Amino acid sequence: MSDRYCVFGHPIGHSKSPIIHQAFAAQTGEAMGYEAIEAPLDGFQDAWRSFVANGGHGANVTVPFKQEAYRLCDTLSHRARRAGAVNTLLLGKNGATYGDTTDGVGLVRDLANHAVALAGKRVLVLGAGGAVRGVLEPLLAAGPAQVVIANRTVEKAECLARDFGDLGAVSGAGFEGLPGGFDVVINGTSASLSGELPPLPDDLFTERGATAYDMMYAAEPTVFLAWAAARGARPLDGLGMLVEQAAESFFQWRHVRPDTAPVLADLRRAL
């Protein structure tokens, strides 16, 4: 009998997590099943408890339940405590619920897969919401010389920078008056998918082979990536981050690390 895993969200029909984890299981020979469960907006914790009562071993959590998942955990990883959110749940042998967030690990590993160095670089992160908070600790652990968080509401960016200021050189700013010359620019907003773009300067990127990374992905380049490519930056979308964060969850559950490259290639072809 295979172990049960799932992803919780609302809505959840669009999720690629079942495809990814079923591919990981087939590749590694792990006896596990993985499904998508749409939890009621006011019933996430009950949905998790019901899943566990029916043999569930672990779960991924996506919007809008990452903060609720954080609150239900008995034990949290240090990076989940920093992020204030959880995207990976694991049922311990003692019946306790352990929570982690793997988004930041997924981002940093995907950048590494594309040979994008962060150590000693100037990094700009666009946005100051939950998606950005969830990746800052692993991002700062990679040793950039500077991280600037830019947001429409300057105070929110500055507050986020203060929260992570003990981990490295990080500051908050608005979009207006941003300096240029960044080596890596990461879009952590969803604005580009709706055809919007923050007011960014044309000299945002350094001339030394800069990288533009959008945490979103689509069949065609997002507005942000198209804008960045036109200014000489190398455009990368977030599909690899999705696969890498899933691989980290899979490793925590099964203690086996899958090969992400063929799974990512299959997903890319299917977009």
Secondary structure E strands in the chain:
3-9, 32-38, 56-61, 75-76, 88-91, 97-100, 122-126, 146-150, 170-173, 184-187, 211-214, 234-236
Topology of domain 3-101+240-270 in CATH is: Rossmann fold (3.40.50)
Answer whether residue 207 shows pLDDT above 90. Answer: no
**Whether residue 156 lies in the annotated active site:** no
- Predicted pLDDT at 190: 84
Calculate mean pLDDT across residues 112-118.
Answer: 97
Q: How far apart are CA 110 and CA 246, in angstroms?
A: 12
Query: 128-168: per-residue pLDDT in tens?
Result: 999 999 999 999 999 999 999 999 999 999 999 999 999 99
Q: One fold for both 3-101+240-270 and 104-237? A: yes
Per-domain residue ranges of the chain: 3-101+240-270, 104-237
Tokens 């899933």 sit at which residue? Answer: 246
248 and 105 Cβ atoms separated by less than 8 Å: yes
Calculate mean pLDDT across residues 113-121.
Answer: 97
Element (H, E) at 68: helix 66-72
* Of residues 50 and 207, more confidently modeled: 50
- Predicted pLDDT at 94: 93
Answer whether residue 1 shows pLDDT above 90. Answer: no
Measuring CA to CA, how many Å separate 229 from each of 44, 46, 218? 40, 46, 16
- Predicted pLDDT at 177: 87
Q: How confident is the model at residue 193 (pLDDT cuts 50, 70, 90)?
A: confident
Q: Omega before 11 cis (within 30°)? A: yes
CATH architecture of 104-237: 3-Layer(aba) Sandwich (3.40)
- Spot the catalytic one: 16, 66, 121, 156: 66
What is the rounded average pLDDT for all residues in the chain? Answer: 96
Answer whether residue 194 shows pLDDT above 90. Answer: no
Calculate mean pLDDT across residues 170-197.
Answer: 92
Give, as one character, the DSSP assignment of residue 268. H
Query: 232-246: per-residue pLDDT in tens?
Result: 999 999 999 999 999
Report the share of the chain in percent with pLDDT over 70: 100
- Predicted pLDDT at 50: 97
- Secondary-structure breakdown of the chain: helix, strand, coil percentages, each rounded to the nearest 5: 40, 20, 40
Report the share of the chain in percent with pLDDT over 90: 93
